[in-house]
Amino acid sequence: MSNDPWTTLVYSIRRRRAKLARFFKPVCLIAAIDLADDGLIDAKRLDAEVIISRFRDYVSLIFEDRAEMGWKPLWHLSNDGLWTFYANGTDLRPNDFGADKKPGTKSVLFNRFQKLSIAQRYLEPWQDSAQRVALRRAMLEILANDDADSRHFARQLFYVDRAMEPARWPTEDEVVEELSLPRSQLELFDEVVGGDFNGKVGFDEAENDEDDEIDYLDAVLQPSLQTPSVSEIEAVASPTAKLNRGTEIDLDKNPHIDSVDGAPDLEDFPEIQKAQIDVILGSLPGNAPKGLICALAAYKAELDKRGARPIIGILTNQHAIIDAEYRHSDAAEWLSAGIRQAGFPDFFRVHQIFLQHFPFMVEREKVISRIHVDETKATGEELIKPFRAALEMAKAAQNAGVATSDVVGFMHELKQGAESLASLPNDIPILGLGPEDRLAPAAATPKQRLIGTAIGFLERAYNLLGTTVGIGTATYPAFAQNLMQILEMLNALVR
């Protein structure tokens, strides 16, 4: 699938499925493909009821009590970018459903949209019957190479003309042989799922949603309620990504996390900090840590650009690096007494007071502090490598007209941060965040901030390309593939 038009879509579906309903998306998509093959749905105006009806037919033979759930994967496939729901001529987005970021019932979803259509980027291959065959096979491969529940559907749907005749379904071995899948991979799931097919689910559907929040982090991190999903990280991304008028990926404020309280003295803080940074930079000797100098310059640049309403994630990232370099260096050997005893302490103090004017910052802290960084991997070259790749990707994307210079600059700052933290020990949280100590219980470590910031921004950028861009050029799919590769590299740094 690496060179066909479905690569990004298939990758997204494979990695973004609910743990206990892993067959939902592939079966729903196969249902739509089969309807298209029969000429029963129009790509530009899909009949949602017909799709979930076909899903119901297929699922009812194996899991009757889950057959009515087709509206869930129908919605979540829009998050993978396959199709788009429209309400009053505008695409329907997760944020349109409030805090849950998804419809809670079928009626809620169906009452909100007037039109469903294949996304522009996939319209041409969808209308090609040979390309639909390739996509259907990819969904069968996902089902056949997954848990026991999914493998039942690989058998059922392998031959479309036999789907409703259980007696004629091929055996699992026949499916594996036809798809040329290694049997050893499939057997891995038997140890976890086990048992013969009995049509039972074994869980409460209300506790398991077909949710785009279940993805690559959940697959590799230790199962824990404390582990944030990628959608949680994306929701608190600061900066977040947007498409500008030129359809380039650009930096943007998070409208929630980056909002300020409008206090009358707010405008004073940037000027105080910039003056303090100028004094510190002017006093640093030649043997001062390079990472410290870069972080101070980046902190000041953000204040120069956005003043009292900065992207707070950029400031906190740079502050964490400054603090880590200051704490882990023998400052007494290279700092003058005045800068050591007053300059840096005053800079840190004003930063913490400034944070108190971002009332929703605590939400970001709580999420980022739950990222389980693997300290055995997130060090040295292994930590730097994904950020170096992200910078090179951003430069190439800028040259191709897909990303702005601000994105390149942001990736350069993240790479510098990785280089600073790569050689520093004891990745510990920064405590004492203000007189009320509001953030201290959930204070994140510098590496958590660095990795979480990158994941949040890149995930948002990927989702923008998957659900919004309809340019149809080869550049965007290539960029999306590169994004996924870098996200996987970041994924390897967490437990």
Residue 178 and residue 265 in one domain: no
Only one residue has tokens 């695409």, namely 91
User: Quick one: pLDDT at residue 382?
Assistant: 93
Q: What pLDDT shows up at residue 186?
A: 36
For the entire predicted model, the pTM comes to 0.56
243 backbone dihedrals φ, ψ, rounded to 5°: -100, 120
Exposure letters 42-78 (e unless 16+ CB within 10 A, then b): ebeebebeebbebbbebbebbbeebbebbbbbbbbbb
Q: Tell me the chain's radius of gyration from C-alpha atoms.
A: 25
Q: What is the pLDDT of residue 331?
A: 66
Question: Distances in Å between the alpha carbon of 379 and those of 209, 418, 448?
Answer: 36, 9, 12
User: Which residue is associated with the tokens 């055995």?
Assistant: 376
105, 223: one domain: no
The pLDDT value recorded for residue 427 is 59
Residue 306: its pLDDT value, please? 94
Tell me: do 225 and 327 sit in the same domain: yes
Q: What is the Cα–Cα distance from 363 to 138, expressed in whole angstroms?
A: 38
- How far, rounded to the nearest angstrom, does the alpha carbon of residue 399 sit from its chain's CA centroid? 24
Q: Give the chain's domain count.
A: 2
**What pLDDT does residue 8 have?**
77
Q: 125 and 73 share a domain?
A: yes
Residue 448 and residue 329 share a domain: yes
123 in a domain, yes or no?
A: yes
Specify if 28 maps to a domain.
yes
- Does 292 map to a domain? yes
The answer to whether 377 and 492 have CB atoms below 8 angstroms apart is yes
The distance from CA 22 to its chain's CA centroid, rounded to whole angstroms, is 19
CB atoms within 10 A of CB 105: 10
Which of 187, 206, 239 is the endpoint of a domain?
187
Q: Answer yes or no: do 441 and 372 share one domain.
A: yes
- Examine the domain organization and report whether 155 and 281 are in the same domain: no
Question: What does the angle CA 32 – CA 80 – CA 251 come to, to the nearest 5 degrees?
Answer: 155
The reply to whether 32 and 71 lie within a common domain is: yes
The pLDDT profile of the chain, 495 residues, written as one tens digit per residue, is 334 688 878 878 887 887 778 999 999 999 999 999 999 999 999 999 999 999 999 999 999 889 999 999 999 999 888 999 999 888 888 888 887 788 989 999 999 999 999 998 899 999 999 999 999 999 999 998 888 889 999 999 999 999 999 999 999 889 888 886 443 333 333 332 333 333 332 222 333 444 433 333 333 333 333 568 888 899 899 999 998 888 889 999 999 999 998 788 889 999 999 999 999 999 988 888 888 999 999 999 999 999 999 999 999 999 999 988 887 766 667 788 888 888 899 999 999 999 999 998 888 988 998 898 887 888 899 999 999 999 999 999 999 888 999 999 999 999 999 999 998 765 555 544 444 433 334 578 899 999 999 999 999 998 887 644 444 455 677 788 888 889 989 988 987
Whether 197 is in a domain gets the answer no
Residues 299 and 421 both lie in one domain: yes
User: Within this chain, do residues 363 and 430 fall inside the same structural domain, yes or no?
Assistant: yes
Which pairs from 422-425 meet CB under 8 Å and 24+ separation? Answer: 422/379, 422/380, 422/381, 422/383, 422/384, 423/379, 423/380, 424/324, 424/325, 424/328, 425/328
| Co-location of 80 and 226 in the same domain | no
pLDDT value of residue 358: 93
Q: What is the pLDDT of residue 177?
A: 83
Angle at 157 between CA 5 and CA 173, to 5 degrees: 100
| 490 found inside a domain | yes
Write the CB contacts of 439 (distance below 8 Å, at least 6 apart in sequence): 355, 361, 362, 365, 433
Q: Which domain holds residue 306?
A: 217-495
**Cα 367 to Cα 229: distance, rounded to the nearest angstrom:** 9
pLDDT of 95 reads: 80
Q: In angstroms, rounded to a whole number, what is the distance separating the alpha carbons of residues 115 and 274?
A: 51
Among 169, 187, 205, where does a domain finish? 187
Residue 64 domain flag: yes
Residue 200 lies in a domain: no
Residues 467 and 395 both lie in one domain: yes
Q: Is the peptide bond before 182 cis (omega within 30 degrees of 0)?
A: no
In a domain, 209, yes or no: no
Q: Which structure tokens are listed for 279?
A: 């004094």
